[in-house]
């Protein structure tokens, strides 16, 4: 949840993407130290709990609260018991957050079945593919692509251009009516680049390079790209835009540049290592 909140808040303010990634990575680094600081989890307790030994205690499917109560501990008035219960809740929360983060990353990479084939290879330089696109919108789609090629390549490079072209085709196939209206081609081009930029963590600076401001200036538009992007996202099945902004994803690794796929795979490995760690505490401490 904290990781998702950081990404959402930074995206709302177009915060540099590399700093966002650094912050999210630091959450994982500091997580275990934080848990150690809020309690060292000694094998024996002190205070009103006396010398009750909890080392290796089998809860037998019961909650810790039930076990302490059966042991005759005045849970409501015993600060040591309250600390143990708080630690249990914290550990459960961390495990839940790791599981949610893993699910988000796996979904972004196309699902469990796709993981084995996902790698960090760069996207190729490929042309716009119009096979299957409704004939009456082909010219409009080509015009939008021409704008994306000119602006996208200069600001973000070949890989994002390919990603944007693939997304444009996907939209044209899914909802051709989106390209039959009166919306300006420049606004559509900006919105598609805005979406692909976000799913690829490309908005790395607020002052230079590929920024929302640079995008709108290059296309000479005043409308926020996010406005029409919401229409496109709904056509792609994204129902909750605010939730999507917390972790921009479309579930298609073919839209992700090599660097982004590599980053997600690395994050996934870190999370799975944490989940496989039976005891996130120091070796000298035990439950």
| Most confident region among 132-141, 208-217, 245-254, 271-280 by mean pLDDT | 132-141
CA distances from 47 to 77, 82, 107, 127, 153 (A): 11, 12, 47, 71, 66
**Position 287 confidence tier, pLDDT thresholds 50, 70, 90:** very low
| pLDDT tens track for 123-147 | 999 999 999 999 999 999 999 999 9
Count of CB atoms situated within 10 Å of the CB of 260:
23
| Most confident region among 94-98, 213-217, 257-261 by mean pLDDT | 257-261
Residue 284's pLDDT is: 47
Residue 82's pLDDT is: 74
**Position 42 confidence tier, pLDDT thresholds 50, 70, 90:** very low
Q: Which of 44-48, 153-157, 258-262 has the lowest mean pLDDT?
A: 44-48
Q: Which of 47-61, 169-183, 191-205 has the lowest mean pLDDT?
A: 47-61
CA distances from 11 to 29, 199, 202 (A): 22, 11, 11
> Region 9-15: what's the mean pLDDT?
57
Residue 151's pLDDT is: 83
**Position 281 confidence tier, pLDDT thresholds 50, 70, 90:** very low
d(CA 71, CA 129): 70
CA distances from 287 to 3, 55, 97, 164 (A): 27, 5, 21, 51
d(CA 275, CA 36): 17
Q: What is the pTM of this model?
A: 0.67
Residue 95's pLDDT is: 63
Residue 238 has pLDDT above 70, yes or no: yes
Between helix 2-12 and helix 79-108 the angle, nearest 10°, is: 60
**Position 111 confidence tier, pLDDT thresholds 50, 70, 90:** very high
Looking at per-residue pLDDT, the higher value among 129 and 214 belongs to 129
């Amino acid at each position: 949840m904290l990781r998702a909140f950081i990404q959402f808040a930074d995206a709302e303010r177009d915060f540099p993407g590399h700093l966002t990634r650094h912050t999210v990575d630091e959450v994982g680094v500091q997580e275990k130290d934080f848990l150690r600081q809020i309690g060292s989890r000694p094998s024996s307790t002190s205070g009103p709990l006396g010398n009750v030994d909890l080392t290796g205690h089998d809860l037998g499917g019961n909650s810790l609260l039930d076990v302490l109560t059966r042991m005759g501990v005045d849970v409501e008035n015993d600060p040591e018991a309250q600390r143990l219960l708080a630690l249990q809740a914290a550990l459960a929360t961390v495990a839940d957050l790791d599981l949610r983060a893993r699910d988000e990353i796996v979904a972004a990479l196309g699902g469990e079945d796709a993981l084995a084939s996902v790698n960090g290879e760069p996207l190729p330089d490929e042309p716009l593919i119009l096979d299957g696109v409704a004939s009456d919108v082909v010219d409009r789609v080509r015009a939008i692509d021409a704008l994306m090629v000119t602006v996208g390549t200069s600001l973000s490079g070949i890989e994002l251009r390919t990603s944007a072209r693939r997304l444009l085709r996907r939209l044209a196939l899914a909802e051709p009516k989106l390209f039959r209206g009166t919306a300006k081609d420049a606004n559509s081009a900006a919105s598609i680049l805005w979406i692909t930029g976000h799913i690829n963590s490309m908005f790395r600076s607020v002052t230079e390079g590929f920024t929302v401001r640079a995008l709108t200036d290059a296309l000479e538009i005043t409308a926020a790209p996010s406005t029409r992007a919401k229409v496109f996202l709904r056509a792609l099945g994204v129902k909750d835009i605010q939730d999507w902004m917390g972790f921009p994803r479309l579930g298609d690794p073919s839209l992700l540049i090599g660097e982004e796929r590599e980053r997600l795979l690395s994050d996934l490995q870190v999370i799975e290592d944490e989940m496989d760690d039976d005891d996130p505490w120091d070796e000298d401490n035990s439950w």
